[in-house]
């Protein structure tokens, strides 16, 4: 009887695992690791382009089809508490805000790709939207639906969590929690570790196609990419004039809509980098020239801020990355509670070329109207029915022997 249960459970597990994997459109193989341990997996722009904006559909899977736990590298705790810079809290709640709001001021002027928040211990599940502003009036989206962790068991009554997001240099950051008529959670403070903020890394995106129109004291530059890349920095290579100071707006194009991402300044004395948080294949840069001649721009370089996962990998296993399932939510792994076990010098590996997930191609044939999901569930029902039949038969035989 135990063997029957084991075989049936294994069969159902394999079927469900295969069913889960078929929903991910893309994959990228990971190289075999030299020894078992924690590894930092760098996500290249070509892979991130296929994922959801918050990377919630990224999975690591082994050769047996099991999902492997990971945490985003930005969630690692910092050991040097002296480098922590506390941000001032701002009381500027708008009438349009709903739920819990928490606003802090970034006086450092540094570009940030993570924010550490301190909360009162809580065991509830909430999600937060992060927006940024330079004037406390006009707010721009940075990241949505960021899950807040539950408190780790401790005796302090408070805990810290890291929020990772595309690099942004807004002066103000606002956390918006949709409490849905539930009791609010309590934010205590927020800040950054300066050694992280000062050493942001970027990966180049290519190719970038440019078209330009100069009219009515304004320059419009359109950037076209060959995929929906995550773009966090634009570097404008300006060759003339020698001195300039121009207001600039950056938009992303999604379908027929044009969304304002950032309003900034191009200044010859401060550099020509524009920090944004975009997920698109088309961007528009609008430069206000006033009475000046248009800027001479030889090229524009696009970059994605560094994205990486940390996972415990076995040297006897082979692994793949999966992504491209818009229906899934961010996974919740126990590994987040053991982040202190991860060393600062974790070895880094890069995934291989992104390709179509073979399992997805098999389960999604080109012929319209064909859906194999029903056959999977039929197999599960048959297995469950077989188990029920064997169980009833076994019970009947046991009862018969007892009566004898």
Q: What is the pLDDT of residue 404?
A: 60
Q: Which pTM does this prediction carry?
A: 0.69
Average pLDDT for residues 256-264, to the nearest whole number?
Answer: 87
Q: Dihedral through CA 87, CA 91, CA 95, CA 99, nearest 10? A: 60
- Cross-strand partners of 75: none
Q: What is the phi/psi pair of residue 20, to 5°?
A: -70, -40
| H helix runs in 58-131, sequence order | none
> ∠ at Cα 330 (230, 96), nearest 5°?
75
Contact (Cβ atoms closer than 8 angstroms) between residue 116 and residue 161: yes
Q: What is the pLDDT of residue 211?
A: 96
- Cross-strand partners of 29: 320
Q: pLDDT class for 61, splitting at 50, 70, 90?
A: very high
pLDDT in tens, 89-111: 998 666 666 778 999 998 877 77
Q: pLDDT class for 193, splitting at 50, 70, 90?
A: confident
pLDDT in tens, 137-167: 888 888 888 877 776 655 578 888 888 787 7
Alpha-carbon span 231 to 165, nearest angstrom: 12
Q: Which domains does the chain have, with CATH numbers?
A: 81-197 (2.60.120.260), 202-305 (2.60.120.260)
Alpha-carbon span 361 to 24, nearest angstrom: 10
Q: What is the pLDDT of residue 252?
A: 93
Alpha-carbon span 75 to 162, nearest angstrom: 5
Q: pLDDT class for 34, splitting at 50, 70, 90?
A: very high
| H helix runs in 35-193, sequence order | 45-48
Q: pLDDT class for 270, splitting at 50, 70, 90?
A: confident
SS3 call for 243: coil
Average pLDDT for residues 274-295, to the nearest whole number?
Answer: 93
Q: pLDDT class for 41, splitting at 50, 70, 90?
A: very high
H or E element: which one contains 28? strand 26-29
Per the structure block, which two tokens stand in for 225?
């990419």
Q: pLDDT class for 316, splitting at 50, 70, 90?
A: very high
* Summary mean pLDDT of the chain: 83
Q: What is the pLDDT of residue 5?
A: 46
* Secondary structure percentages of the chain, helix, strand, coil, to 5: 20, 45, 35
Q: What is the pLDDT of residue 373?
A: 61
């Amino acid at each position: 009887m135990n063997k029957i249960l084991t075989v049936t459970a294994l069969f159902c597990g394999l079927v469900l695992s295969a069913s889960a994997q078929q929903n991910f459109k893309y994959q990228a193989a990971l190289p075999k690791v030299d020894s078992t341990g924690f590894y930092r997996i760098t996500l290249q722009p070509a892979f991130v382009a296929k994922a959801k904006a918050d990377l919630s559909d990224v999975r690591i899977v082994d050769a047996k089809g099991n999902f492997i736990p990971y945490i985003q590298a930005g969630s690692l705790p910092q050991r040097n508490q002296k480098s922590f810079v506390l941000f001032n809290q701002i009381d500027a709640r708008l009438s349009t805000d709903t739920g819990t709001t928490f606003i802090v001021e970034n006086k450092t002027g540094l570009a940030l790709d993570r924010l550490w928040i301190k909360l009162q211990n809580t065991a509830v599940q909430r999600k937060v939207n992060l927006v940024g502003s330079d004037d406390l009036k006009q707010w721009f989206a940075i990241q949505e639906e960021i899950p807040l962790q539950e408190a780790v068991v401790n005796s302090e009554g408070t805990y810290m969590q890291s929020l990772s997001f595309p690099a942004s240099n807004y002066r103000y950051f606002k956390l918006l929690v949709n409490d849905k008529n539930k009791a609010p959670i309590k934010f205590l403070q927020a800040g950054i570790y300066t050694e992280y903020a000062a050493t942001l890394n970027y990966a180049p995106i290519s190719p970038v196609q440019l078209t330009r129109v100069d009219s009515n004291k304004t320059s419009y530059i359109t950037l076209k990419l060959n995929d929906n890349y995550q773009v966090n920095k634009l570097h404008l290579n300006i060759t003339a004039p020698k001195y300039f100071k121009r207001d600039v707006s950056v938009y992303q194009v999604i379908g027929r809509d044009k969304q304002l991402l950032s309003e900034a300044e191009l200044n010859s004395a401060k550099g020509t980098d524009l920090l944004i948080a975009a997920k698109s294949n088309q961007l528009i840069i609008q430069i206000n020239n006033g009475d000046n001649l248009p800027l001479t721009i030889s090229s524009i370089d696009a970059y994605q801020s560094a994205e990486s996962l940390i996972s415990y990998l076995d040297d006897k296993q082979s692994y793949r990355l999966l992504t491209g399932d818009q229906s899934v939510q961010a996974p919740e792994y126990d590994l987040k509670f053991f982040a202190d076990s991860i060393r600062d010098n974790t070895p880094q590996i890069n995934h291989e070329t992104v390709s179509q997930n073979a399992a997805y191609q098999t389960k999604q044939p080109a012929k319209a109207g064909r859906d194999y999901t029903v056959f999977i569930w039929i197999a599960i029902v048959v297995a469950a029915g077989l188990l029920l039949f064997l169980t009833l038969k076994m019970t009947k035989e046991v009862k018969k022997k007892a009566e004898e």
